[in-house]
Amino acid sequence: MNRDEVIDFIHDEAWMLDEGQYHDWLNLWLPNAVYWMPLNWNQQDPVNETSLLHEDNFMLRLRIERLHGARTFSQKPKSRCHHVLNRPRILELTEDSARVATKMHYVETRLDEQQLLALTVTHDLKATPEGIRIAGKRVDILNCDAAFGNIQLLP
């Protein structure tokens, strides 16, 4: 794994989410990886406290399938989203793994409403014969302890 590959990967992942290429996106994940979105700034415990999201492969798959369901009322009409990335900051880099933190602005819209979230996204990546894969992802929302309405897609 080199620096450029890692940075391209981070950008490609966000691009897939914005384009709604969810099945390709899910293929980027290792089977035991977890997507974690803490409820509190500097939250350490994802298990015995509530989080906004702490989802394994099964839950992420459910989330994606649901978005396309015939009776998914909160997605009629559908939401759209948009990530703007700062330059990823490589925290660790070895031949077959990397840890990367990226500041992002995330915009989600539906009907006449639009919301903006400021994120710090930390990726744990692993090299596999099929390419780079996600071993874990933590998304810290700047105002994670604020009261939100629906956040329906994936920041």
Partner 1 sequence: MTEADLKSRVDALIRPQQVHRDVYTSPEVYALEMRHLFRNVWVYIGHDSQTPNKGDYITAQIGDQPLLMVRHTDNEIHVLYNRCPHKGTKIVIDKAGNTGKFFRCPYHAWSFKTDGCLLAIPLKKGYEGTGLEETEASHGLAPVGAMMNYRGFIFARLAPEGIGFEEFFGDSLSSLDNMVDRSPEGKLTVAGAPLRYMHKCNWKMLVENQTDTCHPMVAHESSAGTAVKIWEEMEKPEGTPTPAAMEIIAPFMSPYEFFENMGIRTWPNGHGHTGVHHSIHSAYSDIPGYLDAMVAAYGEERANAILGENRHNTVYFPNIMIKGPIQQLRNFIPLGPDKTLVESWIFALDGAPSELTARTAMYNRMINAPTSMVGHDDLEMYERAQEGLMADGLEWVNIQRLYEDGEDFSEEAVLNGTTERQMRNQFDAWKRFMIGGAA
Question: Which residues in the 52-111 window bind partner 1 by CB under 8 A?
Answer: 52-54, 56, 58-59, 61-63, 65-66, 69, 71-75
Q: How far is the CB of 80 from partner 1 (least distance, A)?
A: 15
Compute the least distance from the CB of residue 154 to partner 1, in Å: 9
Contacts of range 6-12, beta carbons closer than 8 Å, 24 or more positions apart: 6/88, 6/90, 6/93, 6/98, 6/100, 6/125, 6/132, 7/87, 7/88, 7/100, 9/125, 9/132, 10/85, 10/88, 10/100, 10/102, 10/121, 10/123, 11/85
Among 1, 12, 51, 126, binds partner 1 (CB under 8 A): 51
Contact flag: residue 149 with partner 1 (CB under 8 A): yes
Chain residues binding partner 1 by CB under 8 A are 37, 39-40, 43, 45, 47-54, 56, 58-59, 61-63, 65-66, 69, 71-75, 145-152
